[in-house]
Amino acid sequence: MDMLALGDISAISAYPCNQLTRNEQITHFTVWAFMASPLQLSCNLDHMDDFTMSLVTNEDLLQINQDELGAGAVLEAEDGSAKVYTRLLANGDFAAAFINAEDEPCRLALNRPGARIQIYDVLAGKELGTMADEVAFTIPVHGTRVVRCRIKP
């Protein structure tokens, strides 16, 4: 994947600033992280707003991108332009990205029949508890939810 179009990209674009919504920026950065692409910013770091800085320095998302296993993302489920990608991690966990490119909110689910799954919200930095059989979320327009999952015995 090419460079990230986050922050003030006026130096490389005809636009004076980024035209992506916050949800779209999260989606943009998440896709790069899941595809194990180099995270090259194309913006002026001196003009980066707090939201963008917190996104590109999110340690949990950076760990997914830099995971030593180096496994690529796998498309697990899709409904039109809404997709769920997973990425196996070196410690046996997996990360899941629930991405909604639709113009309406949608519910996305990742099914693991018979499994108890411990869920950690990567973007919020907090444990969500355990779900049984599936991990499911309602995703806002052009939004993304990223979780780290561990199958419990």
pLDDT 10s digits, 40-67: 776 667 777 888 889 889 999 999 999 9
Give a yes or no: residue 98 inside a domain: yes
CA–CA distance, 130 with 120 (Å, rounded to integer): 9
Q: Which residue has the higher pLDDT, 6 or 107?
A: 107
Candidate ranges 11-15, 50-54, 91-95; pick with highest mean pLDDT: 91-95
Give a yes or no: residue 134 inside a domain: yes
Give a yes or no: residue 105 inside a domain: yes
Give a yes or no: residue 132 inside a domain: yes
Number of domains in the chain: 1
Give a yes or no: residue 65 inside a domain: no
Please tell me the predicted confidence (pLDDT) of residue 10.
47
Give a yes or no: residue 121 inside a domain: yes
Asked if pLDDT for residue 13 goes beyond 60, the answer is no
**Number of Cβ atoms within 10 Å of the Cβ of 91:** 11
**Residue 79, domain extent:** 73-152
